[in-house]
Amino acid sequence: MADTRSFPDGFLWGTATAAHQIEGGNTNNDWWAWEHRPDSICAEPSGDACDSFNRWREDLAIVASLGLGAYRFSLEWSRIEPAQGEFSEVALRHYRQQLEAALAMGIEPVVTFHHFTTPSWLAAQGGFEHPDAPALFAEFCARATERLGDVLSMACTINEPNVVALAGYRMGAFPPGVADRGRYEVVTERFCEAHRLAQSAIKAGPGSFPVGMTLSMTEFVAAPGGEARLASIRALHEDVYLDATRGDDFLGVQCYSREVVDAKGLVKPTAEQRTTQMGYEFWPGCVEHTVKRAAAWTQNPIYVTENGIGTEDDGERIEYLTEAISGAHQCIVDGVDLRGYFCWSLLDNFEWVYGYRPKFGLVEVNRSTLKRTPKASAQFFASVAKANALSR
């Protein structure tokens, strides 16, 4: 295992969640509607999720008890702006309380402004296909920052716009369930514009903290003859967004595995290969690969804002995290400006179309009682963070 005591001063150890996956009762966004379609492809609806809208104090207390320096969570846009142009003071106060509590516990709050969910009122107008969507998103960011900016440590504008675009507009797996190259390209452009406008809106508000985007990245490997195809997949899925983040305060890299590409496209892992609950290859080496690629491409400081594994076997999670963190360490040894690592996820939560089956949490959440129980991997991750506590 890596010498975890040699991470640089100030390296941020954290864990991450997203509003729709943990809060529960987020009925006013496109995902809730997607889960409840009669022909829904979701394994189950999000329902009460982990009830973190009410239990956030308990969640924060767990983060604190693990000695982690940061917690990344998202603001639910549909709660803050339930109807176009109507902002909920109660929702803003709710998030403000969380942010203040995190700071009081010595936890840096890292906030994502858009993590996969779009308010129903905007979805009804075409979501991010609408030409005004970037400006509407930026307006939400401005209003939220006005009330919360002074208690933020870091901001992520949009979480994995490349996944939202690909899954929503090419694969039909996320709302709005479309498979259309032209619409996909429109949405990609809108997301890049939304990121730029949101960044300016957030920076114009109170507080002074780094603002960036988070991107889903994969270690793509070419099978013989797959080189050209790999380059085109990567260009469409990653490079266009990497370009859009050049010059940002940071880029959040989120990676889970690697994928092999042959001349026809992506190759599914074979039966002999070790896979996770998501069907991905068990491949913690993706951290080192994707962080190095993102840093070389953008020259931005990098945070791993998500990395983890969906598995029932918590020992396997420890094995995965050990190797992944070792890869993160190697990046630093090799001169990459990597500033933090956030494990996905704090809690076993709503894994989008897969429902509650995949277990990504450092903390188990009993589906009947919603009781939280930290797993051995939580203690393991805490010990890694602790080994670095002196340098924080």
Among 152, 163, 260, 294, binds ligand BGC (CB under 6 A): 163
**Closest distance to ligand BGC from the beta carbon of 308 (Å):** 7
Residue 146 to residue 124: CA distance in whole angstroms: 27
Site string for ligand BGC, 6-25 (x = CB under 6 A): ------------x--x----
**Closest distance to ligand BGC from the beta carbon of 29 (Å):** 14
Residue 13 to residue 63: CA distance in whole angstroms: 11
**Closest distance to ligand BGC from the beta carbon of 87 (Å):** 25
Among 351, 362, 365, 388, binds ligand BGC (CB under 6 A): 351
**Closest distance to ligand BGC from the beta carbon of 250 (Å):** 17
Burial-class residue 207 by CB neighbours within 10 Å (0-12, 13-18, 19+): middle
**Binders in 61-120 for ligand BGC, by CB under 6 A:** none
Among 160, 219, 238, 348, binds ligand BGC (CB under 6 A): 160
User: Is the CB of 19 or the CB of 382 nearer to ligand BGC?
Assistant: 19
User: Is the CB of 102 or the CB of 163 nearer to ligand BGC?
Assistant: 163
Residue 138 to residue 128: CA distance in whole angstroms: 12
User: Is the CB of 160 or the CB of 314 nearer to ligand BGC?
Assistant: 160
**Closest distance to ligand BGC from the beta carbon of 306 (Å):** 6
From the list 28-36, 157-165, 179-187, 205-213, the region that binds ligand BGC by CB under 6 A is: 157-165
Site string for ligand BGC, 304-343 (x = CB under 6 A): --x-------------------------------------
User: Is the CB of 212 or the CB of 226 nearer to ligand BGC?
Assistant: 212
User: Exposure pattern of 32-50 as b/e (b: 16+ CB <10 Å)?
Assistant: bbbbeeeeeebeeebeebb
User: Is the CB of 191 or the CB of 344 nearer to ligand BGC?
Assistant: 344
Site string for ligand BGC, 284-303 (x = CB under 6 A): --------------------
**Closest distance to ligand BGC from the beta carbon of 287 (Å):** 14
**Closest distance to ligand BGC from the beta carbon of 5 (Å):** 29
From the list 63-71, 159-167, 268-276, 295-303, the region that binds ligand BGC by CB under 6 A is: 159-167
User: Is the CB of 211 or the CB of 217 nearer to ligand BGC?
Assistant: 217
**Binders in 214-253 for ligand BGC, by CB under 6 A:** 216
Three-state SS string across the chain, please?
CCCHHHCCCCCEEEEECCHHHHCCCCCCEHHHHHHCCCCCCCCCCCCCCCCHHHHHHHHHHHHHHCCCCEEEEECCHHHHCCECCECCHHHHHHHHHHHHHHHHCCCEEEEEEECCCCEHHHHCCCHHHCCCHHHHHHHHHHHHHHHHHHHCCEEEEEECHHHHHHHHHCCCCCCCCCCCHHHHHHHHHHHHHHHHHHHHHHHHCCCCCCEEEEEEEEEEEECCCCHHHHHHHHHHHHHHHHHHHCCCCEEEEEEEEEEEEECCEEECCCCCCCECCCCCECCCCHHHHHHHHHHHHHCCCEEEEEECCCCCCHHHHHHHHHHHHHHHHHHHHCCCCEEEEEEECCECCCCHHHCCCCCCCCEEECCCCCCEEECHHHHHHHHHHHHCHHHC
**Binders in 358-387 for ligand BGC, by CB under 6 A:** 360
- Distance from CA of residue 35 to its chain's centroid? 20
Total residues at the site for ligand BGC (CB under 6 A)?
11
User: Is the CB of 11 or the CB of 360 nearer to ligand BGC?
Assistant: 360
**Closest distance to ligand BGC from the beta carbon of 228 (Å):** 26
156 binds ligand BGC (CB under 6 A): no
User: Judging by DSSP bridges, how do beta strands 265-267 and 338-344 pair with one another?
Assistant: unpaired
* Interface residue list for ligand BGC (CB under 6 A): 18, 21, 159-160, 163, 216, 254, 306, 344, 351, 360
